[in-house]
Amino acid sequence: MKNTIRTLALVAMLVAVTLTGMAGDKEKPSYDKKAAEQNLLVGLASDNEGLRESCAFMLGEIGSTKAVIPLMGMLHDGNESSRVVAALALARIGDGRGVYAVKQAAK
């Protein structure tokens, strides 16, 4: 019985904390897309593989057409995980050159 009461109290506290965090009119934070895109393009040229893959993913998410050529290079010269991320980003961007490159790489 005590365990049930403790469990219910814990659930009630979690619900209260969640609802408190969701309260209020929070606006989406604004950001400078051009600056973010430039920073991500710099990260795409990094020697750090994880940074390069993260930047590639985010460039695909924001739909950066400036990243198509560097991502195509990553698609052909990276390791397997880098190629997969580059292919995903190129498909998300939807530029004809990138989509064609992904189709050719898939063959």
Condensed to tens digits (0 to 9), the pLDDT of residues 61-99 reads: 999 999 999 999 999 987 899 999 999 999 999 999 999
Q: Is residue 5's pLDDT more than 70?
A: no
> How far apart (Å, rounded) are the C-alpha atoms in residues 107 and 82?
17
Model pLDDT, residue 31: 75
Per-residue 3-state assignment (H helix, E strand, C coil) for 20-34: HHHCCCCCCCCCCHH
Given a cut of 70, whether residue 26 has pLDDT beyond it is: no
| Strand, coil or helix: 78 | coil
Mean pLDDT of 4-33: 62
- The answer to whether 59 and 37 have CB atoms below 8 angstroms apart is yes
The answer to whether residues 54 and 67 touch, using CB atoms and an 8 Å cutoff, is no
The answer to pTM > 0.75 is no
